[in-house]
Chain A
Amino acid sequence: MERIKQALERARAERAAAQLADVPVLSTQKVIAQEQETKPAGPGVQVSYTETRSLSLDPEQLRAKRVLLNEVRSPIVDAYNVLRTRILQRLRANAWNAVAITSPRPGCGKTLTSINLAISLAREVNQTVLLVDLDLRRPSVIRYFTDADLPGVSDYLLEQRELAEILVNPGIERLVLLPGHSSFTNSSEMLSTPRMVRLVTELKTRYPDRIVLFDMPPLLAGDDVLAFSPYIDAIMLVVEAGGTTRDDLRRAWNLLGGKRILGVVLNKADGDSSGDGYY
């Protein structure tokens, strides 16, 4: 453990230096470096030395998929920034770093919100962000970035790939994706397998400055979120304006009653009704 600490400190120092020097350093590369160094100490996690995949992104295409990459100031970006700041404040206050993002029903835009939030978080230089696609029924995160068929969590769970093999860098600083790849019908059972638990623990605890976002299946459509909730710190609920019914929201809220709820995000709101943050 000593060595881990040392490694962490060193990494921080390096990053700070990199920031000071204004040299773009891909955090994923650092992660790989970390993993290489910590390999002997990793309890049972077999990490192979593989390059993290990098994706070349087409901003036009991303914009068409409503992913906000390098937007100028707009009400939407502002809204995301508000969300980012509030989440960060809460996470820091509670020393949390694992957030599940879900919604009462499908179609609320939680995956897109996760992506945009992850990008927004990554834009702030103080932390790295890992977005994990845990919607094992319909994994879709990676489709926003590329059409390529990349290996993902499913491969890891089926013990076909190692963690390092499936991480993807979408070409955005401080952001790493963990795609879902293929879908499971028994997704909630898969989420509680020891291998999954090990993965989550690994992802959460490896770096203190890393925020892990889990894109989860809809809350009321299955028990995935509930089954998985012990392994995460907080849950964020995405609600679709004009789509989610009050009853669904109430049920979802009551279902999460005892859990650590980060809050609710009202998505797809009317331009004017969002109100605040527009100037």
Chain B
Amino acid sequence: MEEQLLSLDDYIAILKRRKWQLIIPAVLLSIVGMITAVVLPPTYRSTATILIEQQEIPDELVRSTVTSYAAQRVQTISQRVMTTENLGKIIESYQLYPELMQRYGLVSAVEQMREDIELEMISADVIDPRSGRPSEATIAFSLSFESESPTVAQRVANDITSLFLSENLKDRQESAKETTAFLQKELAKLTDKLSLLEARLAQFKEEHGQSLPELKSLNMQLIQRSEDQLRDTEQSIRTLVERKIYLEGQLAQIDPYSELFSADGRRVLGPADRLKALEAEYATVAARYSSQHPERMRIEREIATLRQQVGQSANARAELERSLKEQQEELAGLRERYSTEHPDVKAQTGAIAITQRQLAQARQGGSANSPGVIDADNPAYIQLQAQLQAAVVELASLQESREEIRSKLADLEERIAKGPRIELEYQALTRDHENAMSSYSEVKQRLVAAELGEAMEAERKGERFSLIEPPRLPEQPAKPNRLAIAFLGLVLAFGGGVGNLALQEALDKSVHNARDVELITMGPPLAVIPFIETEADVHRRTRRRLIAVLGSILGVVLATAAVHQFVMPLDVLWIKVLDRAGLLHTETPNPS
């Protein structure tokens, strides 16, 4: 496409050539615009302004549990309010949109109503107290309803406004209640958990109470003390043992019997001495007499009796010891040859055990009666013997207490040894407990705050909507702005005309002037010959114009007459038009 810059002349030429293509659509469109401006039904709008008031109690004291932004909440509430159910009730009670209801049903009427309800936020530039940044906050909002009747507009706006206000209250209270209920539930859960943990902790302490890390130092002290005690006891034992040995030595040196003297003044020998003497005597008697000799037999019997009396204890023990030694040697020999499972070995071990037991018995008997002499009558001996016995008893008790101390010490040491493992478990338990405790207290705190918030909402001290401008009865129609529509119609009509012209020009690919030719033929045309107009042409043109003028006049007259006849009388129409254009300054007749 050969683009060429058009000069003003070219534009004028185009305009001349296509003036009708501009004028006709422009005129038609402006007529349409005018008719629209006049015909559009008046719409009244009633508006309520609702202020979003901040809560009265300072935020620092009682924090509301409803934290969403006001604008967001208003939108949420509007969604709740504008349900089909709510709007349907209003539509029914005021019988709005009868045509829509009849033709399409409730749903489309509700949709239309949603369009007619206008929710507008009123914002102000504020500085956000939390972030300190300047921002826009919604401080109020307006609710309007549009209707063709001013009364209906006002009443419906009123209803919707009260719906909004009550919904907001309900919403806030519910929200606060929900928060509280939720926190209470959480708190109950936490209490359960906490008691469980506490029970476990108590049980644990009961089980491992003495090994708890907090008792460690005490245990250490106890060990210390027990060790001291042990040392003392052992010391005492050692002393006692020494003393016992000394006493035994002493005792051994003293004849248990006080020296007896027979009536003849001879010293009566003790059984041991008599035995020795008899044994010595027996050797001579045996040598001298036959075995049947009564003397010899008497001596023999006496010896046997004495032996029984003297040697029983000492000798029997020595015998036992000897046999034990033999058995042990034998066992060692057996062990070299056989395994411990061998029956011989087993038997031998059993025999050794028996011997040992006998020996122990013998010794016990020996030690018990180590002094051996019950019937001692030597006072020194008896005294010594008593001392020895006391020492033995004390030794026994000391030994017993030493064992006690040892076992106690072992017990204490075990406690200390168990400490670290227990500590781990214990710490885990304590930690859980502490955590549960802290969250419990936190939730508890929050619950208190939430309950405060709920109380605040219940007493309507929180942020609230207050109606500062109730819906008024509109006096002037809000829509349509007829002058604006008419003006816009004119502008659009002109624009449409120009557009049509431009479109026609763009679509017209024909050659119009010398320049078009030049662009293609690379040279000017030979000649430009104007249209040759004949008289007939002139006639025809004149006649056509005449017909057009007469026709339009006739048309206007006919149209006017038709309107007068069939629609409404012209004078009424004129008044109406003036009224709608807002040029008639009379009071709007009150439709109610």
Instruction: Answer whether A245 and B509 are a contact pair too, CB < 8 Å, given A266-B525, A270-B13, A272-B13.
Output: yes
Q: Mark A50-76, 1 if CB is under 8 A from B, else 0.
A: 000000000000011110100000011
The segment from A10-18, A142-150, A234-242 found at the interface with B is: A234-242
16 contacts between A and B (CB under 8 A): A82-B527, A241-B510, A241-B528, A250-B520, A263-B523, A263-B526, A264-B525, A264-B526, A265-B526, A266-B513, A269-B529, A269-B530, A270-B17, A272-B13, A272-B16, A277-B528
| Contact A245–B510 (Cβ < 8 Å) | yes
Q: Would A264 and B17 count as touching, CB distance under 8 A? A: no
A101 to chain B, nearest CB (A): 11
A248-263: which have CB < 8 Å to B? Answer: 249-250, 253, 261-263
> Which residues of A lie under 8 Å from residue B394 when comparing CB positions?
none
Taken residue by residue from 495 to 530, chain B's Cβ proximity to chain A (1 for < 8 Å, 0 otherwise) reads as 000000000000011111110110111010111111
Contact indicator per residue, chain B 1-40, by CB within 8 Å of chain A (1) or not (0): 0000000000001001100000000000000000000000
Interface string of B143-179 (1 = CB under 8 A from A): 0000000000000000000000000000000000000
Does any Cβ of B come within 8 Å of A268's Cβ?
yes
Q: Which B residues are CB-close (under 8 A) to A192?
A: none
* Secondary structure dominating the interface of A: mixed
Known A66-B534, A79-B530: A263·B525 in contact at CB below 8 Å? yes
Q: Across the two chains, which residue of chain A brings its CB closest to B515?
A: A273
Complex interface residues of chain A between 81 and 132 (CB less than 8 A to chain B): 82-83, 86-87, 112-113, 116
Q: Given known contacts A266-B528, A272-B16, is B521 in contact with A246 (CB within 8 Å)? A: no
- Interchain Cβ contacts within 8 Å, total number: 124
Smallest Cβ-Cβ distance to A84: which chain B residue: B527
Q: Is B336 an interface residue, CB under 8 A from the partner?
A: no
B510 and A243 within 8 A (CB): yes
Task: Please determine whether B532 and A66 come into contact, CB atoms closer than 8 angstroms.
Answer: yes
Set of chain B residues within 8 Å of A262, measured between Cβ atoms: 526
Report how many residues on chain A are interfacial, defined by Cβ distance under 8 Å.
46
Provide the bound-state CA to CA distance between A83 and B528, in Å.
8
B61 part of interface (Cβ distance < 8 Å): no
A116 to B508, CA, bound (A): 29
Cβ of A243: which chain B residues have Cβ within 8 Å of it?
510-511
Of listed B13, B508, B517, B529, residue having the most chain A CB within 10 A: B529
Q: Does B531 contact A (CB under 8 A)?
A: yes
* B536 interfacial contact with A, CB 8 Å: yes
| Residues in B whose Cβ lies below 8 Å from that of A265 | 525-529
A contact residues around B516 at 8 Å (CB)? 246, 249
Which of B508, B520, B534 gathers most chain A CB within 10 Å?
A: B520
Query: For the complex, what is the distance from the CA of A239 to the CA of B520, rounded to whole Å?
Result: 12
In the complex, chain B residues 354-378 whose Cβ is within 8 Å of any chain A Cβ: none
B509 lies within 8 A of A246 (CB): yes
Q: Contacts A242-B512, A245-B510 given: A63-B534 contact, CB under 8 Å?
A: yes
Across the interface, which residues of A come within 8 angstroms of B525, CB to CB?
Answer: 239, 263-266
Q: For the complex, is B115 an interface residue (Cβ under 8 Å from A)?
A: no
In the complex, what's the smallest C-beta–C-beta distance from A106 to chain B, in angstroms? 15
- Knowing A239-B517, A242-B17, A273-B13, the reply to whether A268 touches B512 (Cβ < 8 A) is no
A78 to chain B, nearest CB (A): 9
Cβ of B409 to closest chain A Cβ, rounded Å? 123
A91 to chain B, nearest CB (A): 12
Find out whether the CB atom of B13 lies under 8 angstroms from the CB atom of A264.
no
User: What residues on A are CB-neighbors of B535 within 8 Å?
Assistant: 63-64
Contact with B along A154-165 (1 / 0, CB 8 A): 000000000000
- Nearest residue, chain A, Cβ from B508: A242
Lowest 9 A-B CB distances belong to which pairs? A83-B527, A263-B526, A66-B532, A274-B528, A245-B509, A264-B525, A79-B529, A268-B531, A266-B528
Given contacts A66-B534, A249-B520, A253-B520, whether A266 and B509 have CB atoms under 8 Å apart is no
For A271, what are the chain B residues with a Cβ–Cβ distance below 8 Å? 530-531
State how many residues of chain B have any CB contact under 8 Å with chain A. Answer: 27
Q: Which residues of chain A (28-66) have a CB below 8 Å from chain B?
A: 63-66
Inter-subunit contact B530/A76 (CB<8 Å)? yes
Cβ-neighbour of A83 out of B17, B517, B529 (below 8 A): B529
B residues near A277, Cβ cutoff 8 Å:
528
The residue that B511 contacts in the complex, of A112, A261, A266, A272, with Cβ under 8 A, is A266
Is the Cβ of B13 less than 8 Å from the Cβ of A246?
no
The answer to whether A244 touches B536 (Cβ under 8 A) is no
Q: Is A228 an interface residue (CB 8 A)?
A: no
Chain B nearest CB, measured from A220 CB (Å): 14
> Is A24 at the interface (CB under 8 A from chain B)?
no
Asked if A268 meets B509 with Cβ closer than 8 Å, knowing A64-B535, A273-B13, the reply is: no
Contact (A264, B529) CB under 8 Å given A245-B509, A270-B13: no
Is A80 interfacial (CB-CB < 8 Å)?
A: yes
Any chain B CB within 8 A of the CB of A194? no
Closest chain-B Cβ to A98's Cβ sits at a distance in Å of 17
On whether A268 and B521 interact (CB within 8 A), knowing A66-B534, A244-B510, A245-B509, the answer reads: no
Nearest-neighbour CB distance to chain B for A271, whole angstroms, equals 5
- The CA-CA distance from A67 to B17 in the complex, in Å, is 25
Q: Does A267 contact B (CB under 8 A)?
A: yes
Q: Do B511 and A246 have beta carbons less than 8 Å apart?
A: yes
Question: Which residue of A245, A247, A274 is within 8 Å of B529 (Cβ)?
Answer: A274
User: Which of B13, B520, B527, B529 makes the CB contact (< 8 A) with A86?
Assistant: B527
User: Smallest CB–CB gap between A159 and chain B, Å?
Assistant: 37
Q: How many Å lie between the Cα of A267 and that of B526 in the bound state?
A: 11
Chain A residues with Cβ under 8 A from B17's Cβ?
A: 242, 270
- CB 8 Å contact bits of A182-203 with B (1 = contact, 0 = none): 0000000000000000000000
Closest beta carbon of chain A to B365's beta carbon, Å? 151
A266-B13 contact given A87-B526, A246-B510, CB 8 Å threshold: no
How far is it, in angstroms, between the C-alpha of A240 and the C-alpha of B501 when the chains are bound? Answer: 21
- A276 adjacent to chain B (CB < 8 Å): yes
Kindly identify which residue among B519, B523, B528 contacts A79, using a CB–CB cutoff of 8 Å: B528
CA distance A17 to B509 in the complex (A): 53
**Chain B hits for A264, CB < 8 A:** 517, 521, 525-526
Interface pair A266/B532, CB less than 8 Å apart: no
Q: Are B510 and A269 in contact (CB under 8 A)?
A: no
Q: A87–B527 Cα gap in the complex (Å)?
A: 10
Q: Are A86 and B531 in contact (CB under 8 A)?
A: no
What is the chain B residue whose CB lies nearest that of A268?
B531
A243 to B526, CA, bound (A): 18
> B534 near A268 (CB under 8 angstroms)?
no
CA distance A85 to B519 in the complex (A): 23
Give chain B interface residues in 271-290, CB to chain A under 8 Å: none
- Chain A residue, CB-CB nearest to B17: A270
Q: What is the CA–CA distance of A47 and B360 in the complex, to the nearest angstrom?
A: 186
CA distance A275 to B527 in the complex (A): 11
Residues of B within 8 A of A239 (CB): 511, 517, 525
User: Does B527 contact A79, Cβ atoms closer than 8 Å?
Assistant: yes
Contact indicator A75/B530 (Cβ below 8 Å): yes
In whole angstroms, what is the CA distance A271 to B533 when docked? 10
Nearest A residue to B514, CB-CB? A266
Q: Given that A246-B510, A253-B521, A273-B13 are known contacts, is A236 also in contact with B532, CB under 8 Å in the complex?
A: no
Interface contacts beyond A265-B529, A266-B511: sample of 16 additional A-B pairs, CB < 8 Å, sorted by A: A63-B534, A76-B530, A79-B528, A239-B511, A239-B517, A240-B511, A241-B528, A246-B516, A249-B517, A253-B521, A264-B521, A264-B525, A264-B526, A265-B526, A273-B512, A274-B530
* Chain B residues whose C-beta falls within 8 Å of the C-beta of A273 in the assembled complex: 13, 512-514, 528
| B510 CB contacts on chain A under 8 angstroms | 240-246
The one of A249, A253, A263, A269 in contact with B531, judged by C-beta atoms closer than 8 angstroms, is A269
B 536-566 contacts with A by CB, 8 A: 536
| Chain A residues, CB < 8 A from B528 | 79, 241, 265-266, 269, 273-277
Chain A residue contacts of B519, Cβ below 8 A: 246
